[in-house]
Amino acid sequence: MMHSRGKTLDEIVPVIAEGGFRDPVTARSRLAFLGHNLRAPFVYAYWCGDVAVHDVWKGVPKERRAEFWDYLYGNMHTPTTLAAHWS
């Protein structure tokens, strides 16, 4: 919407918030990087990373969640290394 239709962030946020079952503040935060010259090219990496982390996270037992976050943020990962550690 922003790049091909010329819509502003203010026009896009309500649409994405409703469609993604998010509040407008969260949607704006997630979309703000689209207009940032250095961050915008990484849109697919962000999306793929979110999916990869979620896929692993949903299988982490409740009692190991703190360990999961320590491991996630304490190490560099690819989608396969994160999944391999937790399988």
Q: For residue 46, what are the domain limits?
A: 41-87
Among candidates 44, 60, 48, 53, which has minimal Cα distance to 75?
53
Both 31 and 51 in a single domain? Answer: no
Count of helix runs (H) and strand runs (E) in the chain: 6, 0
The maximal CA–CA distance of the chain, rounded, in angstroms, is: 47
Both 86 and 71 in a single domain? Answer: yes
Structure confidence at residue 71 (pLDDT) = 93
Q: Identify whether the C-beta of residue 10 lies closer than 8 Å to the C-beta of residue 2.
A: no
Task: List pLDDT tens digits, range 66-83.
Answer: 999 999 999 988 778 888
DSSP 8-state symbol, 9: H
Indicate whether 3 pLDDT > 80.
Answer: no
Count: domains in the chain: 2
pTM: 0.54
Both 31 and 54 in a single domain? Answer: no
Q: CA 80 to CA 51: how far, in whole Å?
A: 12
Task: List pLDDT tens digits, range 24-57.
Answer: 998 888 888 777 778 777 777 777 788 888 999 9
